[in-house]
A = this chain, B = another copy of it.
Amino acid sequence: MEEVRIEELTPLILQMLRDKNFKGLKDELSALYPMDIAEVFDELEPEDCVILFRLLQKDKAAEVFSYLSPQRQKDIVGAIHVSLLNYIFNELYFDDKIDFLEDMPANFVKKLIATAPPEERGLINQFLNYPENSAGSLMTIEFTDLNKNMTVKEALAHIKQTAVDKETIYTCYVLDDTRRLEGIVSLRRLVLSDEDQIISDIMTKDVVLCGTNDDQEQVADLFKKYDLMAIPVVDSEQRLVGIITIDDIVDVIEQENTEDFLKMAAMAPSDDAYLDTGVFTLAKQRIPWLLILMISATFTGAIIGYYENLLSTAVVLTAFIPMLMDSGGNAGNQSSTLVIRGIALGEISLREWPKVMWKEFRVSLIAGAILATVNFLRMMVFGNGDFMIKFTVCITLFFAVVIAKLIGGLLPIAAKALKLDPAIMAGPFITTLVDAIVLFIYFSIANVLIF
C-alpha cells in the first residue's frame, strides 16, 4: 500500500530536482512523514539527498536524519554545515545518538561529543562502551522517574513538566534515593487512580527487568513473552540506568531473524543492508563457509573415488547421484529448518529431543516411502535397463530420506546442547553430511545387489 506511494514519489521528486523546482520540493517535503522522506532518500543518489536534506526545516531534518540508514547518515554528515550537524545531533533521542555515533569514524565521534552538553559527554562515552547487541547498547536514558511518596497528582504534574524530553511516559519508574528501582506504574494506572493516592500504593513491585550486558535476543524474548511496551535496564548494583522501548525491539527481532537467515545459508551474520555493503565485505562474509563446505564435499568425492573401479562397470549408476544427493539434502534441510525455528521461537526445548526424533522418524517413513514409490513408477515407465539398478536407486532413496530427516532433526538440538548456535546446522552443512552418507549407502547396496 505504502510501497506504491514511495515508488511513485521517488521519480516525482527526482523530476522536481532536475527542474530545480526547489519551491515545489519544499512544499512536497513538508507534506510528507519524516519516515517517507527517509525512504525516498534511501532510493536516491547521495548528491541528491544532500540537496533535498538542505531543503528540510531544521526540526524535520533532525527527525528524518534519525530514520536514515547509516550509509545515508554518513553521506549527509560529510556535506552539511557543522552548525546544522550540531543542531541535529542535539535534537536526537539519546539512543538514536548512540546508534549514529557507533557507525561513525572515531575522530569524528570525538569532535561531535565535544559539542554535547558536559553532563552528557560522560554518559555518551559510557554508552559507546556497552558491547554490541547488548541491552546497554539499545537503551535510552530518557525515561520518566517518580518518587514513591508522591501523590498521583504530584506525579502527573511531574510528568507534565518533564515529558517533552522523554521517549515514553506510558511506563514510569519509581526509584529510591540511590536510584535503585522500587517499582513501575503505568500512565494508564495514574490516569485511572484518584488524585490523592500515593504512588507506593499503586505501583507494581514485581517488575520484569534486564541487565546492561544481557544479549538483545534475550531481551526481545522477554518482550514477546510478557507483552511488554518497555523494559527497565539495571546495572550490576541494581540501579536503573535506562529503558528499552518496543519500537527498538521490533528492529532487534528482524535483525536476529536476518542473522539466522544468513547463518542458515552459510554466511557470516551482518546487520548491514545488502545494497550498502561493499563487494569485499560481501565476499569476506561468504568465502570462508564456501571453502569449508567445498573441502568437506571432497570427502564425499572420496567415497565415489573408492568405488571407482566398481562404478566403471556400471556407469549408469552415476546418473542417479544428483537426484539422490538432492533429495537427501532437501529432506534433511526441511527437518533442520523446522527444528532450528522451533528452538529460536522457544517451542522446542533441549529435553524434548526424543519427541522430535520420534516425530521426524515417522514423517520420514511416510515421505521416504512415497518418494521411493513415485520414483520407482517413474523409472518403470520412462527408464530402461536393469531392474536391480532401479531397485537399488529406490531403496537408497528411501534410506536417504529417513537418515537425512533424523540427522536434520537431531543436529540443531545437539548444537544447542553444546552451546553452539543451532542455525549453523542448516541446509549447507546438513547437505554436505547427508551427501556423504547417501553415497555410502548407495554404493554399499549396489555392491551387494549389482556388482
**A363 close to B191 (CB less than 8 A):** no
**B163 close to A191 (CB less than 8 A):** yes
Identify which of residues 422-448 in chain A touch chain B, using a CB-to-CB cut-off of 8 Å.
Answer: 427-428, 431-432, 435, 439
**A2 close to B359 (CB less than 8 A):** no
Contacts of A322 in B (CB 8 A): 297, 300-301, 304, 321, 325, 435, 439
Identify which of residues 315-359 in chain A touch chain B, using a CB-to-CB cut-off of 8 Å.
Answer: 315-316, 318-323, 325-327, 329-331, 333-334, 336-342, 345-349, 351-352, 355-356, 359
Q: Among the listed stretches A99-107, A174-182, A235-243, A274-282, which one makes contact with chain B, having 4 or more residues with CB under 8 Å of it? A: A274-282
Nearest CB in chain B: distance from A181 CB, A: 16
Does A267 sit within 8 A of B, measured CB to CB?
A: yes
Does A202 sit within 8 A of B, measured CB to CB?
A: no
The listed residue (B253, B308, B326) touching A435 by CB distance below 8 A is B326
Does A86 sit within 8 A of B, measured CB to CB?
A: no
**A214 close to B367 (CB less than 8 A):** no
Q: Mark A43-60, 1 if CB is under 8 A from B, else 0.
A: 100000000000000000
Does A287 sit within 8 A of B, measured CB to CB?
A: yes
The listed residue (B222, B286, B330) touching A293 by CB distance below 8 A is B330
With A311-B318, A366-B283: A342-B275 Cβ-Cβ less than 8 Å: yes
Contacts of A192 in B (CB 8 A): 160, 163-164
Does A246 sit within 8 A of B, measured CB to CB?
A: yes
Does A132 sit within 8 A of B, measured CB to CB?
A: no
Nearest CB in chain B: distance from A226 CB, A: 5
Pairs of residues from A and B, 3 with the lowest C-beta to C-beta distance, nearest first: A265-B337, A300-B322, A297-B323
Beyond the given A274-B341, A274-B348, please list 17 additional residue pairs across the A-B interface where CB-CB is below 8 A. Answer: A35-B225, A163-B191, A254-B345, A258-B341, A265-B336, A265-B427, A266-B334, A267-B337, A267-B338, A279-B362, A282-B338, A282-B363, A283-B363, A287-B366, A297-B326, A322-B439, A329-B431
Which A residues fall within an 8 A CB radius of B?
A: 1-3, 7, 33, 35, 39, 42-43, 156, 159-160, 163-164, 169-170, 187-188, 191-192, 206, 208, 210, 214, 218, 221-227, 229, 246-247, 249-251, 253-254, 257-258, 260-262, 264-267, 273-275, 279-280, 282-283, 286-287, 289-291, 293-295, 297-298, 300-302, 304-305, 308, 311-312, 315-316, 318-323, 325-327, 329-331, 333-334, 336-342, 345-349, 351-352, 355-356, 359, 362-363, 366-367, 370-371, 374-375, 378, 397, 401, 427-428, 431-432, 435, 439
